[in-house]
Amino acid sequence: MVARSADLLEDVRKEVYEINQHIKVLAVPTDLLDPKSIKALWEKVKEEFGHADVLINNAGTALFGLVSEADPNAWW
């Protein structure tokens, strides 16, 4: 999960664990307007999971393809 607010992420992470204690949740505060922050997020995802299977984007746009090959400049 990604959001700018660490507090919001923690609240949602707790709600997810209330539903399923066996799920692995990665909550990473990230500013999606900052390419360095996005790169740090991707490195954390690779470190924890090896890769990302699904990206659900709730930022008002859509790009199709592999997350690892997505161009952050295309989001603009």
Q: Which residues pair with 3 in a beta bridge?
A: 29
pLDDT (0 to 100) of residue 32: 84
Q: Which of 47, 45, 61, 65 is nearest to 2 (CA)?
A: 45
* Strand, coil or helix: 22: coil
Report domain extents, the chain.
2-75
In contact, 32 and 38? CB cutoff 8 Å: yes
The model carries a pTM of 0.65
pLDDT, one tens digit per residue, over 16-35 is: 999 999 988 899 999 888 89
Residue for token pair 């746009």: 61
pLDDT, one tens digit per residue, over 33-70 is: 889 999 999 999 999 999 888 777 776 566 777 777 87
pLDDT (0 to 100) of residue 61: 61
Please report which helix (H) or strand (E) contains residue 45, including its range. helix 35-49
